[in-house]
Chain A
Amino acid sequence: MTKDHKPVVPGWFTTSGEDFSLLGTRCTACGTVFFPRQETFCSNPACAGTEFAEVPLSRRGTVWSYTNAGYRPPAPFVSDPDAEWQPFTIIAVRLEAEGLIVLGQGAPGVGVDDLKVGVEVEIVPGVLYENDEHVYTTWNVRPVEVKA
């Protein structure tokens, strides 16, 4: 039996189609992009905008910084307390077109030694955790492979 896939937060990233991307919103008045999405008021103090359009965020960016979780984070992070702790990376990605920095967990297998401030990374689909009924999906970050 295959489990249902559910996004960890609905509406924050695409769940179908070939081009996975984070989904933000753009204020139609001033152009400011919001992630997580903002849909009722604009946080630019000089803008009175109230209308927002959904926009896919850039799929590639550069590493602003990175770290890892050497210890198991507390709830509401979900993990199996009986499993040996495996550190995951946390990567801050600078998206040039949107003029913002967004955090993401590194894709499985990406360690801090694979990263450097300024290198190009891509935002890809990932799995946050699963339980008996569902696989909870999220976004991950991984270095763009250098093609030979």
Chain B
Amino acid sequence: MSTDREIVVLGAGMHPWGKWGRNFVEYGVKAAQDALKDAGLAWQDIQFVAGADTIRNGYPGFVAGATFAQALGWTGVRISSSYAACASGSHAIASARAQILAGLCDVALVVGADAAPKGFFAPVGGDRPDDPDWVRFHVLGATNPAYFGLYARRRIDLYGASVEDFARVKVKNARNGLANPNARYRKAFTMEDVAASPIVCDPLRLMDICATSDGAAAVVLCSKEFAARHTTSPVRISAVSTVTPTFPSALIELPDIATDSSVAVAPHDLSFRASLAHAAYQEAGIGPEDLSLAEVYDLSTALELDWIEDLGICARGEAEKLLRDGATEITGRIPVNASGGLGSFGEAVPAQAIAQVCELTWQLRGEAGERQVSGATVGITANQGLFGHGSSIIVTR
């Protein structure tokens, strides 16, 4: 399944997730330096920097590529900065990949970092009735977890899921996160702990919903030719899917207060989330049956179950059975969120999709320690954010 569109992850690095109270640039520099060290390269070797933007840290956050390049020391390197909500990290990877595959550079550094406020994400200031993100807060009080609550309720009413199933996801991911030095919450949770936490958006409780975190992740990406001079066991990126929804988008998605109308055009067979994975599989020339593991965007526990189906790992309504049977455990048939997922990390928006690739890189190299998935050769990431953004990346060995 090797294609001529592949690139190599030569190095991966992260700054641990947490609430550290420092400037996001510090986290990004640490992750970048770790990724460079892991790749065996010096900063001066980098020919292109792709920054993943944060919108919560002022101007430097909007120009992340320049911000990190300046912090590491101007070298005249070429840069890009990408904002794509929760998929910003993947868009930065896509930007670097395009440069490498076009032959414009051999080796690139991708960095995403955030310092996040406490509590619910809220829109940026000002009265903006033309901005759907403002409208949903002002007119409906619909926070991000409200949308997660709507999706979770569908699983209960349509598929017979239970709140205990959702708690099982938290217990599993917390257990996985115990073995991850970069995770924020390295603490075991029980079903009772989840049940005792307050309702945020029915049926979801506080322990079902991911927090907002500080953190940073970086990867060094290069051409296969460049990699051949630096490693004998390359981990490759075989697909980067960043497709938009297809009109009419028929599921209610953040931050919209209504879906597209399907009176004139019938909705596509695949939901937006499923189409993200579908495009990645097509690009890599593989299918869900080839996966060793998956890192999915568990903004809520119930959303992990949606993703398992969106990735085609099982049919609609069957993810709870996989979970209950232990198939998604690290020792199971298809481990999901071996890293501990967002449940153990909290979300550091522009770093998160890059962190998913870091985890797959370490897993495919066999360097994941106690959370190692035995014999992992193919991994997929999945992620979705506001305004039609999402991504799915396939990493192979």
Interchain nearest-CB distance for A142 vs B (Å)? 15
A61-90 to B contact mask, C-beta < 8 Å, 1/0: 000111111110111111100000001101
Known contacts A77-B141, A100-B260; A112 and B202 CB within 8 A of each other: yes
Q: Within the complex, what minimum Cβ distance (angstroms) separates A78 from chain B?
A: 7
Is A15 engaged at the interface, CB distance under 8 Å to the other chain? no
Nearest neighbor of B152 in chain A, beta-carbon distance: A67
Which residues of chain B from 138 to 189 have a CB within 8 Å of any chain A CB?
A: 138-143, 146, 149-154, 157-158
Known: A64-B150, A67-B150, A102-B258; 12 extra A-B contacts, CB below 8 A, are A30-B265, A36-B257, A64-B154, A65-B252, A67-B146, A67-B203, A70-B199, A73-B143, A74-B120, A74-B122, A77-B138, A105-B140
Name B138's contact: one of A27, A45, A78, A100 (CB within 8 Å).
Answer: A78
Q: Indicate whether A90 sits within 8 Å of B261 (C-beta atoms), given known contacts A103-B142, A105-B140.
A: no
A125 surroundings in chain B (CB, below 8 A): none
B119 within 8 A of partner (CB): yes
Given A67-B146, A90-B146, A116-B157, A74 and B137 touching (CB < 8 A)? yes
Tell yes or no: A52 within 8 A of B by CB: no
Asked whether A90 lies within 8 Å of B262 as measured between CB atoms, the reply is no
B195 within 8 A of A: no
> Is A56 interfacial (CB 8 A cutoff)?
no
- Residues of B within 8 Å of A70, CB to CB, are 198-202
Q: Is B247 an interface residue (CB 8 A)?
A: yes
**A100-B139 contact given A45-B247, A74-B119, A74-B120, CB 8 Å threshold:** no
Closest B residue to A128 using CB positions: B139
Cβ-closest chain B residue relative to A117:
B157
Q: Which A residues are CB-close (under 8 A) to B285?
A: none
Contact A65 B151 (CB under 8 A): yes
Select one of B122, B146, B257, B260 contacting A69, CB under 8 A: B146
Interface of A is mostly: loop
Instruction: Tell whether B269 is near chain A: CB-to-CB under 8 Å.
Output: no
Give the distance in Å from the alpha carbon of A30 to the alpha carbon of B260 in the complex.
Answer: 13
Asked if B234 CB lies within 8 Å of chain A CBs, one says no
B299-350 with Cβ < 8 A to chain A: none
User: Is A50 interfacial (CB-CB < 8 Å)?
Assistant: no
* Complex: A33 Cα to B140 Cα, angstroms: 21
On chain A, the residues within 8 Å of B157 by CB distance are 65, 116-118
Q: How many residues of B contact A (CB 8 A)?
A: 47
CA distance A116 to B340 in the complex (A): 33
Interface residues as binary, B195-227 with A (CB distance below 8 Å gives 1, 0 otherwise): 000111111100000000000000000000000
Find out whether the CB atom of A76 lies under 8 angstroms from the CB atom of B138: yes
Q: Which A residues from 81 to 115 make CB contacts under 8 A with B?
A: 87-88, 90, 92, 97-105, 112
**Chain A interface size, under 10 / 10 to 19 / 20 to 34 / 35 or more:** 35 or more
Say whether B287 faces chain A, with CB atoms less than 8 Å apart.
no
A148 at the binding interface (Cβ < 8 Å)? no
List, in ascending order, chain A residues with CB within 8 A of B258's CB. 35-36, 100-103
Contact A90 B142 (CB under 8 A): yes
Query: Is the Cβ of A117 less than 8 Å from the Cβ of B199?
Result: no
Shortest CB-to-CB span from A86 to chain B, Å, is 12
| A–B Cβ pairs within 8 angstroms, 21 of them | A43-B260, A44-B265, A45-B247, A64-B150, A64-B154, A65-B150, A65-B157, A66-B153, A67-B201, A67-B202, A68-B149, A70-B199, A73-B142, A76-B137, A78-B138, A87-B199, A90-B201, A92-B252, A100-B261, A102-B258, A102-B259
A98 and B261 CA atoms in complex are apart in Å by: 6
Contact assessment for A100 and B259 in the assembled complex, using a CB-CB cutoff below 8 Å: yes
> Are B150 and A66 interface neighbours, CB within 8 A?
yes
* Residue from B135, B137, B151, B263 in contact with A31 in the complex, judged by beta carbons closer than 8 Å: B263
Q: Which residue of A lies closest to B127 (CB)?
A: A76
> For A32, what are the chain B residues with a Cβ–Cβ distance below 8 Å?
248, 260-261, 263-265
> Does B199 contact A102, Cβ atoms closer than 8 Å?
no
Interface code A2-35, partner B: CB below 8 Å = 1, 0 otherwise?
A: 0000001100000000000000000100111111
A71 near B120 with CB under 8 A, answer yes
| Residue A146 lies at the interface, judged by CB distance under 8 Å to chain B | no
Identity of the chain B residue whose Cβ is nearest the Cβ of A103 in the assembled complex: B257
